[in-house]
Amino acid sequence: QVQLVESGGGSVQAGGSLNLSCAASPYTYSSYCMGWFRQAPGEEREGVAAIDHEGSPIYADSVKGRFTISKDNAKNTLHLQMNSLKPEDTAMYYCAADIAYCYILQGPNYWGQGTQVTVSS
């Protein structure tokens, strides 16, 4: 059963923080690679961060040093801690699983429904 349910989005001012969570079914949580993507209005969806089955993180250059991806194996939950948020981080954030090209943040096969993040200046 494929299930990815995001939570934790919201509105913050620039410089603030948010923590996104993605509750996954055991089937999707066992994916080799899980991660987060985002899509701003009028823009293409882009990879933000991913984590492979060994727990090694991969980040887009735009979020390195500000975002941290992690897994809670006891709860089958993926997290994205977002610090020092900028207005350009405003987007719908999607949890993704079974990412075919993990290390270049491309090719997810499963998606959650998304959670909105809005950062005001």
Q: Is the pLDDT of residue 1 over 80?
A: no
Provide the β-strand partners of residue 19.
81
Per residue in 43-57, pLDDT (tens digit) is: 999 999 999 999 999
Sole residue written with tokens 């994916």: 31
Among 100, 113, 110, residue whose Cα is nearest residue 28:
110
pLDDT of residue 111: 95
CA distance 23 to 38: 17
pLDDT of residue 108: 95
Mean pLDDT confidence for 88-98: 97
Mean pLDDT confidence for 99-112: 95
pLDDT of residue 28: 81
pLDDT band with cut points at 50, 70 and 90 for residue 7: very high
